[in-house]
Amino acid sequence: MQRTKGRLADGREIIWYDAGDRHRIPAVDRRDLPEAVTSSQLRRDPLTGEWIAIASHRQTRTYLPPADECPLCPSRTHLSEVPSTEYEVVAFENRFPSFAMNAEALDAVTDGMEQLRAGVGRCEVVCFTSDHDSTFAALTPAQARLVVDAWADRTCELSQLDAVEHVFPFENRGREIGVTLQHPHGQIYAYPFVPPRAAQELAAATEHHSRTGRSLFGDIIDAEIASGERVVTQNEHWVAFVPFAARWPIEVHFYPRRQVPDLPALGDAERDSFATIYLDVLRRFDRLYSEPTPYIAAWQQAPVRRDREVAWLHLELYSIRRGEGKVKALAGSESGQGAFVNDGLPEALATRLREVAR
């Protein structure tokens, strides 16, 4: 893999990723853009202790543009966020970020009921392909592997930023999820804190290790493989299964068989094997119903500076689709209390996903 860095017209960083040993010259962004400045701030919820990002400037972000004005396509017929006329995989700083390293300074409040600080961090967009009409599921294994390498490279670089505590690559796919750009892409949030889901999983893993001396994640993997009832598919390096207490109508978790803290720690064979198993399951998702399945793909990595010894890299893939033409709304119980109710049986979902294999 070759990595080529450049700058966009407003000073944001852009990185091209190319397979093989290609030497790319950074393209020049010819747009007239003002310097990017972000007004994000973080406010601590005194009821939960969670940090909430306030990013009002995101109200003006691009919303469902026509294909011939897509800001993620190469700059061929229009000037886009990617100034080159072609690319394989590209990552760049989000123009409308929730966090930014140059977030406007403010007078931080570090104690009391109303704690406040600047939203310092980084948000990036990762374009999986230059083909506007494609999807991640349509990539070849080699193309998917390049995306994995880009995720790993970005994790490594973002982890070196002093303000960053947790790096979270993810993909939102489908209008039902709330996607505002249809081009195949994902994002990376480099948080200035460890987010609630990661913190909750790691707290459970720490408690389990203190009590048993074993890895919680490893015990889950062993139990799922031994049962086989919820395993969707597996290969030499990875296993994919519907979790015992699945929250979402469609949910599959992917674990490497070897404990690693994050994406950079994966070896070449593990990266190749992930690309193969992930593409397989994504294609099964799309065979469940008459329309492509909307989903969120969320990488759970170790934080940058804590809990790395108990963490176990994994991907949580889930969808709000609960039936043909139906989606699950996060209504009273989920939104009001954070208590999920799943209308389907995890074992039945695993059976369906095995049945739609090709």
Per-residue confidence (pLDDT) for residue 59, from 0 to 100: 67
Contact by Cβ (8 Å): 252, 232: yes
Topology agreement, domain 2-193 and domain 197-355? yes
Could you read off the pLDDT tens digit of each residue along the chain, which spans 358 residues? 999 999 999 999 999 999 988 889 999 999 999 887 788 999 999 999 999 999 877 766 777 899 999 999 999 989 999 999 999 999 999 999 999 998 888 889 999 999 999 999 999 999 999 999 999 999 999 999 999 999 999 999 999 999 999 999 999 999 999 898 999 999 999 999 999 999 999 999 999 999 999 999 999 999 999 999 999 999 999 999 999 999 999 999 999 999 999 999 999 999 999 999 999 999 999 999 999 999 999 999 999 999 999 999 999 999 999 999 999 999 999 999 999 999 999 999 999 999 999 8
Per-residue DSSP letter, 333: I
- How far apart, in Å, do the first and last CA atoms of the chain sit? 31
Per-residue DSSP letter, 27: P
Per-residue confidence (pLDDT) for residue 72, from 0 to 100: 97
What's the pTM value of the predicted model, to 2 decimals? 0.96
* Distance separating alpha carbons of residues 258 and 262, to the nearest angstrom: 11
* Distance separating alpha carbons of residues 202 and 216, to the nearest angstrom: 9
Contact by Cβ (8 Å): 331, 266: no
Architecture of domain 197-355: 2-Layer Sandwich (3.30)
Q: Decide yes or no: CATH 3.90.1150.10 for domain 2-193.
A: no
Task: Give the count of alpha carbons within 13 A of 312, CB side only.
Answer: 23
Q: Which residue ranges make up each domain of the chain?
A: 2-193, 197-355
* Strand, coil or helix: 69: helix
Q: What letters, b where the CB count within 10 A reaches 16 and e where it falls short, cover 225-260? A: eeeeebbbbbeebbbbbbbeebebbbbbbbbbbebb
User: Phi and psi (nearest 5°) for 40?
Assistant: -65, 150
The reply to whether 185 belongs to the active site is yes
* Strand, coil or helix: 231: strand
Binding positions for Zn(2+) are 70, 73, 132, 183
The crossing angle, in degrees rounded to 10, of helices 216-227 and 196-212 is 80
Q: Which of 57, 166, 185, 208 is catalytic?
A: 185
Query: What strand order describes the sheet that includes 41-44?
Result: 51-54, 41-44, 116-118
Contact by Cβ (8 Å): 8, 29: yes
Contact by Cβ (8 Å): 269, 306: no
